[in-house]
Structure 1
Amino acid sequence: NEKNNAIAVKITDTGAKGLDKQITAAFKEQVATVAAEKVKDSGTEFETKITRAMNNTSTSFGETAQKIDDSRRKLGDIQAKLDTASQSMGGAKGTVADVEAALTDAQAALNEVSSLVNQAQGGIGDFTDQSTSAFVNGATAVADGTAQAQESIADLTAGLDQAGQRFDYATQQANGAVDASAQSIAELKALLNSATLSPQATKELDDAVQRLEEGNESNRRLLGNLGALSKDTQAAADSVKSSSDAINQAAADTKATSQTLRDTVTSSVPEINRAMSNLSSTASALSATLEAQKGTMREADGLLDGVSQQLLATKDTLGDFDTNLVALQDSLRSIQGDVRSLKATMNNKVLQNVTGLDADEIGQFFAEPIEVESVTVYPVDSYGSAMAALFTNLSLWIGAFVLMVIFKVEVDKEGFRRVTVDQAYLGRFLLMAAMVVIQAVVVTAGDILIGVQTVNAAAFIVTGVLIGLAYLSIIYALSTSLGHLGRGLCVVLAIIQIPGASGLYPIELLPGFFHAIYPLLPFTYGIDAMRETIGGFYGAHYFKYMGVLAFMFLLFFVCGLLLRKALSHFNALFNKELKDTELFDYENVQVMGNGYRIADVIQALDSRSGLKQDLDHRDHDWSYWLKLVAVAGVVGVIILILVSGLLPSQKPLLLGIWTAWCLLIVGAAVTLEYLRISLKQSAELLTLDEDDIKHPARNEDNDLAAVAPAETEGEK
């Protein structure tokens, strides 16, 4: 309720703001604490996941590198097997050459058998035509031919058997190499499928494995052809053996019937001829078969050359693949080291910052984000001690001002034969100075008694006394020089100095108007000097402040003395007007001489008509000018009020302008009134006799004289 009390509203506003701030701080603290807890929990979970992922990744890279190392060892075994297969291919190629030579020898033997059979058939024909003796010779020749044919057939059969065995051995070795290659290729494909590689590296390795598979299939087809060749060779050997058995059977039959040859020549010869014919045809067929086998041997030799080249190409491909695996293994080891380094870095820096969050501390930070650390340079124990400098100076100023109100500033010359202006001014000042000293001692001692902090009690009291004397000099000078107007200026100075001398707030917080007048105010130096004795001395600042106050003391003392003489008639007329109002208190102002202007006195003695003309010339409608000044003052105040409403931020400056304007208006009004009264007083010379005019002129000196009417017996 703003109607009840003005201060209560400010208190409730402050309480509401404080409560709002407290609730907001508590809410922020709670929100920040919960958020920090969530972030901390998320950070811990994330740390666990990323640690697990890094461990799994590092383990996977290590396992992959180990598998690659195992694959390299298997590649070494495959390369060794390929070397063995290459050597086997060389042996097989030699075997093929031996088989081809054996086939050539067998073909030659068959040709010889065929020739012998032909010879035997010719001999049988001759035997048929010739006698028994010739038959016996022919039979013997047949037996010899049969024996030779049997020997050739045996050699051929042995060569074919040996070639077949070599074919079988070479085929077995080649089959083993091809099977080993197929197994290695399968292992490589499984390794590639399990490894995590870049697409480019995977494609290159797949192409190499595909080429190995194609070469291995080609080798397998070649081995199939070699197996067929081995079977054909075995069939040829079996056929030769069958022919050999037939010849042996024929020879046995011939031997068995040799005793009855004579009797059975006619019947046996055809059978022998048929046997010989069969043998000849068999030899011819076998020779053709051997010729075909020789072509197969040449094809086998070419196939073996191709297999050898394919094995060399496979070996080179495996070497390149091994090089790629080495590079891949090095990359995996490097990546594994990077993952471990990343894990260590994450554990030491980023994640620890998250998982190490202090939720309570963060909540407190959000509730009070700024923590001010104050370092006290000159500690003051209480707020009262801090404000004592201002209110002590204000008390000294008001005490000196009250003396101007209680005591008369004008000196009564009764009882004195001769009193000068200087003597009267100094005498009244010394009387008030004694009162000011008593006031200062009472105020400063009272401060100490109620607990105001001081670093030196004696310095505190002495400082108060000196400050009081300086203020007395200022107030006394204004009061004696300007009278009631000077007292009004003292009140205005007291009002301005309370905020303008940094007694309440630092001067840095005040508007520019106070910044401008700050160095000119007596309170500025009195408060600072008093603070030195309360909080502690710093360098020569105390003496600087007291020096400025001493300068002000002397300046205003001298100015007051001079202005007292110059403005005495003004004060006398002003107090006379106050007396005429019968409302205000006034003083019996003591002036020098009779109060008339010297120029007017001389002119009155010289020519009263000239004085009258001069007074008429100087006379004006003073009431009109006073009204004009009053209207100007009111209009100026209204303008300042309107401007202050439009410019609220400039109110301190406008307040200073308002004060100066009011002083200007008051000064103008007082000046006009003084001129009017002075002119009126000069007109009194026209009513005085010449002797009355000469007498005060002759007696005018530096003595004081009362101009205002005496009201008391003492004044009379």
Structure 2
Amino acid sequence: MSPFMLSPFRLAAAELRRFRGHPIRTAALVAIVLIPLVYGGLYLWFAWDPYGELDRMPVAVVNEDTGASVETDGETTAINGGDQLVDQLEEDPIFDWRFVSADTARQGLEDGDYYMVITVPEDFSTRLASLSGTDPEQATVEFDLNDANGYVAGVMASTVEAELRNQINTAVYVTFATTIFGDLTELHTGLTDASSGASDLADGIGTAQTGADDLQSGLGDLTAGAQQVADGANQVSDGVDQAVDVAQPVVQTLADNWTRIQTGASSAADLADRADTDLDTVYGTLCTGDPDADADACARLQTYIDDADQVNSDIQSADDTIQSTSTDTLDQASSDLTDLQTGAADVATGASQVADAAATAQTGAGDLASGLTELHDGAETLASSLASAAESVPSTNPAEDADNAEAYGSPVAVAEDNLNPAETYGRGLAPFFIAIALWVFGLMAYLVLRTVNSRALAGPLRSVPIAIGGWLPGAFLGVISALVLYFAVELGLGLHPKDSLDTVGLSILVILTFSAMAHLFKLAFGTAGSLLLVVLLMLQLTSAGGLYPVETTPRFFQALHPLLPMTYVVDALRVTISGGETAHVVRALVVLGAYLIGALALSSLIVAVRRRWRPDSLNEPLQV
């Protein structure tokens, strides 16, 4: 079998064996493999996260503010917004701040020592102080740039201008608040004390609320007891009415006939006394000194005499009482019974009123408890509001305000959500520069590798294996180059794609496609093919949408955007690295596959055409 009747893989191996035997030839293959790493890796390395290093950029700050004073409630308050701003910037080093004079800053900006100069004019505080008057003026802060020091540096500075404005606005806010409220520290302290007092008030009201609840409960018991007393007083009043109704007429009758009663009583007393004396005389006559007296009869008589003495004594005592009691006394007793009846009725009425009043007091105590509950809640709300107000008042100490710059400087926050964040500048541009690096590989590879084996071209081997055999060395080295680039960026820079296997697989397909296209152009046009590859690279750089949205580019590049393969490579790598719609990856696979198959088919056709020898085929029209 002829040595030229070989498979494409043996043709590729034969091409690679040409580079054995001399270090320079071997180094040439190694250089080809490292081209994407040198181009893509180095660029991504130096541009991986420039915005994370802005604090290394020297920026001059010139404070020419002379300060001002403002009168509030009869008190003069000195303000200095420039010093406040300087302190604010020192607490948050967005850039490498250099606080210098105006002349130094101007000269440094011209010499390139500073990328930007921030100047606080001398009337800064004066204009801020005017905000408390009737003719307010807007204060200004000057930003000076010099594109001669690097236009991109100015762009980078402008990307954080919003944050810088927040820092400035915070200093302005504190200064302005000072002009309106005076010493914010005192305001903060006052609000804090008021909040503490409101908390104490809430606690005291809570205690009062508990007492009101207890009072309501006690009044409930009092109401029940008072009602029982009222019921008892009514019963007593009814009983007194009945008793007085019976006794009062009797007493009045006695009063009316008391004189006759006294006379009768006196007569009865005299009669009893005489009878008692007579009994004593009879006993002396019958029983004393008479030996024949009947002892039993005398004993019984003595018993009667004793009883008569006792009765006489009682009658005399009753007579004394009757005689000592006047008619006025009985009249007074009759009147007292009437008063007793009236008093008992008044007591019953009063007891009922007490019961009613206790019930009303109980209801009032309930209303009081309810009102104290609302008052307690209101006091707690007041305490909370005052505490929040105290926290919202910034201290005049910039160190305490620096962390709140965004809140004070920009009251309205924008809530931003990124579905698939790239996280760093370099990671966001990685799809674009990986695609460029892999294209550059194909451009450089076929400056060293042959596109076709000349001896196989003259032999009987079919055109398709010859064309594939000419492409395979570049494809093989390209796969190695793509893997070297990926692992270098992954391990060295921390690419960390969302889907590593898809990223590697897509990179391999890209290098196979780009190398096949480079092989086609070099095979079809020779040295001019390399120039065409450079032109095609330029067109893809400007139309792939890797740096700017394609909609912002001229219509010419928008028209090229869907036609060139790098567009689909960038879209797909964005998905595999940062995440996104899988449809972009599928579309890229289809398009790249079509380009790969189309490039190999055209290469086979060109090989077939070149096998028809013509006189001008022995010498290329242009060689480099």
What TM-score, normalized by structure 2, do the two folds share? 0.37
What TM-score, normalized by structure 1, do the two folds share? 0.33
Highest Rg: 1 or 2? 1
